[in-house]
């Protein structure tokens, strides 16, 4: 396992559209392990491969209290969505920024697990929000891009300033 560096907004590589995984092999399982380790070390509840500059359609998340229930989505595909809910979101690629985003309240998603087996999940609440947030990463979209241009400009300025200070 390895800890991978996480890209920070506004790094343009976060806007890369990820490619589908063609075969779920050992290299993909290694990527899943590395994503899990990186997410847990950063105390996040979700991480997309895009965020570690690997542009493959792989997501991990764990929204459980005990942080012992990893969920892996390879080539996730949205089958249906329903309802609307506004929830506060954060992102390991946008450290220290939290804001409210409106998304579907319920989603049905198909994906492959870490053994390449297809599964379907019907998600609602926090899980539905997380899945949509992480699937956005695979399309090159970061949650702050749902906010107003004014807020987005403020966030970009703040993060650029912080990046300079930590160099
Ligand atoms: Ni994120």
Q: Can you point out the beta strands (E) in 10-143? A: 46-48, 58-61, 71-82, 85-89, 99-103, 106-112, 118-124
| Cα–Cα dist 51/78, whole Å | 20
Per-residue pLDDT tens digits for 84-128? 999 999 999 999 999 999 999 999 999 999 999 999 999 999 999
Distance of CA 120 from the midpoint of ligand 1 (Å): 22
Fold classification of 12-166 (topology level): Peptide Deformylase (3.90.45)
Q: Which residue has the tokens 């500059």?
A: 53
Instruction: Give the distance (Å) from ligand 1 centre to CA of residue 47.
Output: 6
CA of 50 to the centre of ligand 1 (A): 9
Residue 18 CB coordination number (10 Å): 20
Domain map (residue ranges) of the chain: 12-166
Cα 157 to middle of ligand 1, angstroms: 19
Set 89, 134, 139, 165: catalytic member: 134
pLDDT of residue 162: 84
- Tell me how far CA of residue 130 lies from CA of 22, 69, 125, in angstroms: 24, 14, 9
- Total-model pTM: 0.95
Please say whether the dihedral angle defined by the alpha carbons of residues 92, 46, 86 and 83, taken in this order, is positive or negative. positive
Q: In Å, how far are 75, 112, 153 from 31, measured between CA atoms? A: 14, 14, 33
The pLDDT value given to residue 164: 84
pLDDT, tens digit, 9 for 90 and up, residues 125-164: 999 999 999 999 999 999 999 999 999 999 999 988 888 8
37 classed as catalytic:
no
């Amino acid at each position: 396992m390895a800890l991978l560096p996480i890209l920070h907004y506004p790094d343009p590589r976060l806007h890369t559209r990820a490619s589908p995984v063609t075969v779920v092999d050992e290299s993909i399982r290694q990527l899943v392990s590395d994503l899990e380790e990186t997410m847990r070390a950063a105390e996040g509840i979700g991480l997309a491969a895009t965020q570690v500059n690997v542009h493959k359609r792989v997501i991990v998340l764990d929204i459980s209290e005990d942080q012992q229930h990893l969920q892996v989505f390879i080539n996730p595909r949205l089958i249906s969505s329903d309802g609307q809910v506004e929830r506060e979101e954060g992102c390991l690629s946008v450290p220290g920024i939290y804001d409210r985003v409106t998304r579907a309240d319920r989603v049905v998603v198909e994906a492959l697990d870490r053994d390449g087996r297809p599964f379907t999940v019907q998600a609602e609440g926090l899980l539905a929000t997380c899945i949509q947030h992480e699937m956005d990463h695979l399309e090159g979209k970061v949650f702050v891009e749902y906010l107003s241009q004014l807020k987005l400009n403020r966030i970009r300025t703040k993060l650029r300033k912080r990046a300079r200070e930590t160099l």
